[in-house]
Structure 1
Amino acid sequence: MKKILLFFSFCLFFACNENTSAEAGTTSEANSENIQKKDSVPNFGIVIHGGAGTILKENMSDSLENAYKAKLEEAIRTGHKILADGGTALEAVQRTINIMENSPLFNAGKGAVFTNEGTNELDASIMDGETLNAGAVAGVTTIKNPINLAYEVMVNSEHVMLAGKGAERFAKEQGIEIVDPEYFYTENRFRSLQRIKDREKTELDHDGKTAFIDPYIKDSKFGTVGCAALDKNGNLAAGTSTGGMTNKRYNRIGDAPIIGAGTYANNKTCAVSSTGWGEFFIRGMVAHDISAMMEYKGVSLEEAAREVIQEKIPDLGGDGGIIAIDHEGNVAMEFNTAGMYRAKMNNKGELEIGIYGN
């Protein structure tokens, strides 16, 4: 009898151990599968700017600060959703910039600054990091969303840049939304023009060192909105849109529509959008310079952006900033001014918004 009980006890022990081992194996396999799933989640991200300059907390009302933050969040969440749903970086860049172009808060689209003649002349560019194809428009006066026209130039023409009336004629052919020039009128921007003209009448020194309380005219050479994105397919894209410089003359064009200066994207390296003193960003070929440093010197996006914005451009005499994202999803938001409207989101949905310097 004892032998029989001992035999059954042994069998029960063996069965329990076997079940425990099986359960452990199942748990181990499940954990391994979860890790693999986590590692296989496609990387993507997006980063934006709404201009850089003398953006100081003491010159900003709480309501205006909240308005900027709300619009930056609306814009970046628009692009992030497109990426999260599997959309392309090119689409995310356009739709994100559209939100800022449609807001009077930013110097692009609806909020474009005025020229010396009292008109609004808009520039924009976009670039595809997969193909290195690009499109740009300059000096348009009736295009509601210049970034959309830049995209049409890229995909539906044999050219890279179109300007003025020719660009507007092409826009009509492509079905781009046309508006009356009065659409771009905003009271704040017009007052900024008048104040700058009044200053010119009363000051002999035009070196730009005079301080202003009005945040709309403090940096007449700054503005611009931009976006850089990485999609789930590993493709990069960047775009930039601007109204240019307040009180500009002679159909002046800055860096925003210049591929390599205001905008650049290359799947090998990064996607960049610039904002700052355009003349110096053109001379320094800022956006491409950051990419080239990564490609030829093997430095990180952070290192390249810091050297270009904190050393090279100041040495030339210029200032401003960039936003960028590399092919691994790393983000840079580098500027040498007092502030830059900016935001970023990663594939986890983590959002960061900034306005002032650190």
Structure 2
Amino acid sequence: MEDSYLFNAGKGAVFTHDGKNELDASIMYGKDLNAGAIAGVRDVKNPISLARKVMQVSKHVMLSGEGASDFAKSQGLEIVTPSYFYTDRRFKALQHIKNEEKISLDQDEKTTMLYSDPDNKKFGTVGCVALDKDGNITAGTSTGGMTNKRWGRIGDSPIIGSGTYANNKTCGVSCTGWGEYFIRAQVAYDISAMINYKGFSLGEATKEVIHKKLTKLGGKGGVIAIDKYGNMQAMFNTVGMYRATMDDQGNLEIEIYKGH
């Protein structure tokens, strides 16, 4: 999915205010709680591969910026020029949001307009959670972040516990939405904690966190999740969320809106 211009990750990443692409990703292994993450990378073709290398090879959990890129080069990962990530669709979205921002400044309504997103131009994430035949859960998340982001902004996607979490005892979770709220609510870990400490089912836990806790804060978005029994859940408080599931029999379901 990072190789497709259709998704806000890798090739299809959105633009920052300065017209650049800054990529974030994370991955976590539920068997031993090992994890890897990268943030603010501009020249690594597949950010999730770099996050995995951080998990498997380094002594660290998160690397950022030029240091993360240097580590990618040392591991032989594919490096590309920043122009590789350019797409007309994402660049036009940046210009549209900048125009909205200019209008809002002229009308002295900066706060209202800057964070409005009626056409879903700002946000987007790709994620995956999986349970293997040995009972091991893995979760991964990759994103270009928020369109028009500034000052090296980093959202929830590379933060373990906020945008990604996996534990063989409970579940694996990958999040998408307005990252600042997912960080404050520690959404991914909280779903696992609900299962671990309160005995909630995966459905109960995701509903409690997304429709009650996150919504109460004012956050928008959703999660995909799988528990240790293989139950799958996609929970969101927005109009829709692109998602797909496949069971061990190869049965594939693809949905966008609620109930479809």
Bin of the TM-score, shorter chain as denominator length: over 0.9
Tell whether 2:159 aligns with 1:258. Answer: yes
- Residues 101-112 of structure 1 correspond to what in structure 2 (within 5 A)? 101-112=2-13
CA positional deviation for 1:211: 6.5
Tell whether 2:46 aligns with 1:145. Answer: yes
What is the match of residue 309 of structure 1? 210
What is the match of residue 258 of structure 2? 357
String of CA shifts for 1:86-126, please: whole Å, max 9, x gaps. Answer: xxxxxxxxxxxxxx111011100000000000000000000
Residues in 2 aligned to 1:179 and 1:351: alpha-carbon distance in whole angstroms: 33
Residues in 1 aligned to 2:202 and 2:9: alpha-carbon distance in whole angstroms: 27
What is the match of residue 128 of structure 1? 29
CA positional deviation for 1:351: 1.1
CA positional deviation for 1:200: 1.1
Q: Evaluate the alpha carbon distance shift between residue 210 and residue 261 of structure 1 in structure 2; reply closer, same or farther with a 3 A threshold.
A: closer
CA contact (8 A) 1:343 1:352 kept: yes
What is the match of residue 188 of structure 1? 89
CA positional deviation for 1:202: 1.1
What is the match of residue 22 of structure 1? none
Residues in 2 aligned to 1:309 and 1:342: alpha-carbon distance in whole angstroms: 16
CA contact (8 A) 1:221 1:276 kept: no
String of CA shifts for 1:122-168, please: whole Å, max 9, x gaps. Answer: 00000000010000000000011000000000011000000000000
- Segments of 5+ residues of structure 2 without an aligned counterpart are none
Residues in 2 aligned to 1:330 and 1:211: alpha-carbon distance in whole angstroms: 32
String of CA shifts for 1:148-206, please: whole Å, max 9, x gaps. Answer: 00000001100000000000000000011100000000000000001111111112323
What is the match of residue 342 of structure 1? 243
What is the match of residue 234 of structure 1? 135
What is the match of residue 225 of structure 1? 126
What is the match of residue 183 of structure 2? 282
Return the match for 2:102 from 201, 208, 216. 201
Return the match for 1:117 from 9, 18, 32. 18
Residues in 2 aligned to 1:250 and 1:140: alpha-carbon distance in whole angstroms: 14
Return the match for 1:162 from 42, 47, 63. 63
TM-score (norm 2): 0.96
Q: CA RMSD in A?
A: 1.1
CA contact (8 A) 1:138 1:162 kept: yes
Amino acid at match of 2:168: N
- Segments of 5+ residues of structure 1 without an aligned counterpart are 1-99, 213-217
String of CA shifts for 1:241-273, please: whole Å, max 9, x gaps. Answer: 000000000000000000000000000000000
| Bigger helix fraction | 1
Residues in 2 aligned to 1:187 and 1:124: alpha-carbon distance in whole angstroms: 23
Q: How many residues align?
A: 254
Q: Which of 1 and 2 has greater Rg? A: 1
> Percent identical across equivalent pairs?
65
Amino acid at match of 2:112: D
Amino acid at match of 2:47: P
Q: Which runs of 4+ in 1 moved over 6 A?
A: none
Return the match for 2:230 from 309, 315, 329. 329
CA positional deviation for 1:221: 4.0
String of CA shifts for 1:249-307, please: whole Å, max 9, x gaps. Answer: 00000000000000000000000000011000000000000000100111100100000
165-174 or 342-351: bigger deviation: 342-351
CA positional deviation for 1:357: 2.3
- Residues 49-128 of structure 1 correspond to what in structure 2 (within 5 A)? 100-128=1-29
CA contact (8 A) 1:221 1:277 kept: no
